Amino acid sequence: MSQATSALVFGKEVTLQTYGKDKYGRTIVDVILPDGTNVNHTLVQDGWCWWYRKYAPGDTVLEGLEKDVREGRKGLWADPQPVPSWPLSRCGRSGRCNLLPRLLPRIT
């Protein structure tokens, strides 16, 4: 995703529309390009990231963009079982969590 984001915004002035802070104190924003393109929407639409409902509940635009890209099996949705990044980030730098049982399909 970082390369896709860089391709969209590198060297451009952007506008940040703020919506508050998350539980870690990070500012929640939409990134808007000079031509009015919403970078957040573009990244979801192109299948580079998930719509994280917790921070944009009821956002019908993001919901529709993710639904379309999922159905089109584009980007991360080309994988039949894409793995979200947030369970991985819960491990922190210690790597002391065992995510294998949750991330791998059950073998019966």
Q: Is residue 106 in a domain?
A: no
**Cα(57)–Cα(75) distance, integer angstroms:** 23
* Number of domains composing the chain: 1
CATH number at residue 43: 2.40.50.90
Q: Which residues contact 72 (CB under 8 A, 6 or more apart)?
A: 47
pTM for the whole structure: 0.73
Q: 65 near 51, Cβ under 8 Å? A: yes
3-state SS, residue 55: helix
What per-residue confidence (pLDDT) applies to 42?
94
Q: Look up the domain containing 58 and give its range.
A: 2-78
What's the CA gap between 85 and 2, in Å, rounded? 13
- Average pLDDT over all residues of the chain: 81
Q: What gap in Å lies between CA 105 and CA 44, rounded to an integer?
A: 25
Is 90 inside any structural domain? Answer: no
pLDDT, tens digit, 9 for 90 and up, residues 22-63: 888 989 889 999 999 999 999 999 999 888 787 777 889 999
pLDDT at 107 over 90: no
